Amino acid sequence: MILVLMGTPTASLVVDDVEIARRVLAHIDAGTTDEGDVWREPVENYVNPNRFDAEVRLLRAMPSVFVPSVTIPNPGDHVQRSAFGVPLFAVRGRDNRARVFRNACRHRGFALVEGAACSHALVCRYHGWTYRLDGSLAHVPHAEAFPDLDMPSRGLAEVESREVDGLIVIGALDGRRSTGSQELAWLTDGTPWRDKVLPANQLIYVDTVIRPMNWKVLIEQFLEGYHIRSTHKNSFYPLQYDDLNVVEKFGPNSRIAYPYRNIERLRARPESDWNIDARVTFLYQLFPNVMLATFPDLMLTVVIDPIDIEHTTVTTYAMAKSDLADRESRDPGPGNPAGAASFIAQGAAEDNEMSEGVQRGLHSGANEFVEFGRHESAIGHWHATFDERLARLGAGLSGEGDRR
């Protein structure tokens, strides 16, 4: 059983599904799409190691989504992931509370959790130091060898975290307290994504891969539909529209609606009967580095984690509603994610091929900046927000993006 705290009820930060359908149909009729500001991002900001170091310092200084709640549904469940180079793990306690700890034994620093598992206690494989699920130190073999050991003070090092609306969110990793901060508030009010995330209550697949590209290039590939026809001509394009999106921004976050062609069938129905669950893919960009993507019967959480200027770890969690998860457990599909593998995996492979090409092009010397047009405004919003946070942190870098 998962205990998921609900955010404080607020006015909706995004429009409802009926309004999304209205806007999409209006764009179809007019041959238009949502537009925003142009953005130019200096190539230097992708290839400069000093800039990258400043970005990592910023990422460690702000809250972020760690893992979906469904990764640890029951007491004793635990799962590890490195966030911005910091090894962490989440564990659900006997009190049903999710906690996040730095992934190191307090004896010699051995990584306590590897992968995902369930246990009654956390036992270090190196020397057997044992911790309760709340992180407190429970047992030290041959404790007489440590006469000055203060066991109550040597529990696991906890990271500030909250569990809200299907996500486990961590605070700053650099020692700052972010409780009550504006950045944390934008990740712990789940009203924009709650109705989409919570029904997908079963984890069916996890994949982690290192991609040979800068992490910002990966962020960008999710945030525009201007490339649908040219990049996805045999996958997404036969089912979706090229260069037709509804873009909404809430604080540093954004939501992009990618409509399917079958949305036109709604024209013959009264609005009271409209349902867009299988007619629109929503892409939620939860600042700074997490994407939530909805598909029929499926939800993906994608975590983008920088390694260096040329490499990024991408972890994808595929979640489904209980009925689909039950079907897949009886008749598992060939790969990620479940029965939608051919559609989603092909599209993702095409996106990654394009991003690898962008990464190579960054070193060509052809461009001083990367150009994002009015139809790619969610990318500009992300860069503007990130640059503003860098400036606030006092990174002192030149070459920040230019909003035109």
Is the residue at 135 inside a domain? yes
The pLDDT averaged over each successive group of 10 residues in the chain (404 residues) is 43 90 98 98 97 96 97 98 98 98 98 95 97 98 96 96 96 75 89 92 94 98 97 95 97 97 97 95 98 92 98 96 64 48 83 97 97 98 96 60 49
Q: Last residue of some domain: 108, 136, 171? A: 171
Give the pLDDT score at 394.
77
Q: Could you tell me if 206 and 265 lie in one domain? A: yes
Is the residue at 233 inside a domain? yes
Give the pLDDT score at 338.
46
Query: Domain containing 207 — which CATH number?
Result: 3.90.380.10
Pair 205, 332: CB distance under 8 Å = no
Q: Could you tell me if 103 and 114 lie in one domain? A: yes
Q: Give the type of residue at 177.
A: R
Q: Last residue of some domain: 171, 201, 232? A: 171
Record the pTM: 0.91
CB atoms within 10 A of CB 56: 16
Helix, strand, coil % (nearest 5) of the chain? 30, 30, 40
The whole-angstrom separation of Cα 177 and Cα 330 is 45
Domain count, the chain: 2
Is the residue at 179 inside a domain? no
Q: Could you tell me if 348 and 289 lie in one domain? A: yes
Give the pLDDT score at 326.
63
Query: Domain containing 162 — which CATH number?
Result: 2.102.10.10
Q: Could you tell me if 99 and 129 lie in one domain? A: yes
What is the domain range of residue 21? Answer: 17-61+188-394
Q: Is 76 left (phi over 0), alpha (psi -120 to 50) or beta?
A: left
Give the pLDDT score at 101.
98
Give the pLDDT score at 343.
80
**Token pair for 118:** 């369930």
Give the pLDDT score at 399.
45
Q: Could you tell me if 274 and 365 lie in one domain? A: yes
Q: Could you tell me if 214 and 143 lie in one domain? A: no
Q: Could you tell me if 156 and 217 lie in one domain? A: no
The whole-angstrom separation of Cα 258 and Cα 166 is 23
State the first-to-last Cα distance of the chain, in angstroms, to the nearest integer.
50
Give the pLDDT score at 339.
45
Q: Could you tell me if 228 and 156 lie in one domain? A: no
Q: Could you tell me if 272 and 318 lie in one domain? A: yes
Q: Last residue of some domain: 146, 171, 196? A: 171
